[in-house]
């Protein structure tokens, strides 16, 4: 189909920057839907089968993104959080889209600014393109072969290229690491991991923003031992990898995508800003 041919052509030619800009503009436009819901006096939510919350914003944003993606990339298979919750499955595919309409729904319900809209493309078990938008912060991170950060108003679009900031993860600082930990999922395994590192400071941050802060040089490591789904990590992981970082699984290999046998669930992982520093640090406890 046309969309599949476009994805294959973009990947083969190395020109995946068009896809990155496409995803970024879609996420920014969808940000207006998130802010509309956030402006309500009460944000209604319900629990899904896995006990995670879902709001009207999750469903409206996913429906919008799926319409836009189908129009732009017809026929490309997708994995989207709320569609999966309703029973949609994805057959194994060499390339597929991943959509997380609101990553950090608990933060969204708490009216924290730490929630994001995520759109990604995985190909050959790796995240190839990603866009992460934090509408309450007006920050967009996006990456194909290279990664960028920019300011963007919810419902608007990407600013001119001269206003994009190239992303580059930083080297391991001699004074110790800045570690990012989950606001909602801090566990004993994370505490054990941090106790084995030289940590200068730990900061709780919600959603896939953690990957992006590693990518733009604000932090050094993000350990995650509780379960996540591939749509939770793909866009942020794509941004981090484009900036020179890496996300490692329990075997010390880059986190893989397309894990159909595991229902697209991730195991433990650690995201690092400075891949070259891994020789000096343990990976997983």
Which tokens is 269 given? 């992982």
What pLDDT, in 10s, does the model give residues 30-76? 999 999 999 999 999 999 988 899 999 999 999 999 999 999 999 99
What pLDDT sits at residue 6? Answer: 54
Domains of the chain: 2-166 (3.30.540.10), 177-280 (3.40.190.80)
What pLDDT, in 10s, does the model give residues 107-116? 999 999 999 9
What pLDDT, in 10s, does the model give residues 165-192? 999 999 999 999 999 998 777 789 999 9
Listed in sequence order, the residues at least 6 apart from 51 whose beta carbon sits closer than 8 Å to its beta carbon are: none
CA angle (169, 224, 199) in 5-degree steps: 60
Bridge partner list, 126:
123
Bridge partner list, 182:
205
What pLDDT, in 10s, does the model give residues 203-259? 999 999 999 999 999 999 999 999 999 999 999 999 999 999 999 988 889 999 999
Residue found under tokens 């997708």: 78
**Which among 226, 221, 185, 191 has a CA at the least distance from the CA of 206?**
185
Phi, psi of 96 (to 5 degrees): -155, 160
Alpha carbon 193 to chain centroid, angstroms: 22
% of the chain with per-residue pLDDT over 70: 91
Residue pair 116/102 in contact by the 8 Å Cβ criterion = yes
């Amino acid at each position: 189909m046309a969309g599949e041919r476009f994805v294959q052509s973009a990947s083969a030619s190395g020109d995946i920057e068009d896809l990155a800009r496409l995803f970024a503009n879609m996420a920014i436009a969808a940000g207006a839907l998130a802010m509309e819901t956030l402006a309500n006096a009460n944000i209604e939510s319900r629990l899904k089968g896995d006990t995670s919350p879902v709001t009207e914003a999750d469903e409206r944003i996913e429906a919008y993104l799926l319409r836009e993606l189908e129009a732009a990339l017809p026929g490309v298979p997708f994995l989207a959080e709320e569609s999966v919750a309703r029973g949609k499955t994805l057959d194994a595919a060499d390339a597929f889209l991943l959509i997380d309409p609101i990553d950090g729904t608990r933060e969204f319900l708490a009216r924290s600014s730490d929630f994001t809209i995520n759109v990604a493309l995985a190909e050959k078990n790796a995240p190839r393109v990603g866009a992460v938008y934090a509408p309450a912060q007006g920050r967009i991170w996006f990456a194909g072969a290279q990664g960028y950060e920019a300011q963007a108003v919810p419902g608007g679009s990407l600013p001119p290229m001269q206003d994009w900031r190239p992303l580059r993860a930083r080297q391991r600082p001699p004074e110790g690491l800045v570690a990012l930990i989950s606001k909602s999922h801090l566990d004993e395994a994370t505490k054990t991991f941090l106790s084995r590192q030289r940590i200068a400071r730990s900061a709780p941050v919600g959603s896939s923003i953690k990957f992006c802060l590693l990518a733009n040089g604000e932090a050094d490591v993000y350990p995650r031992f509780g379960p996540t789904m591939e749509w939770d990590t793909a866009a942020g992981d794509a941004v981090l990898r484009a900036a020179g970082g890496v996300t490692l699984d329990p075997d010390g290999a880059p986190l893989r995508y397309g894990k159909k046998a595991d229902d697209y669930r991730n195991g433990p992982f650690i995201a690092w800003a400075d891949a070259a520093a891994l020789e000096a640090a343990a990976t997983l406890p």
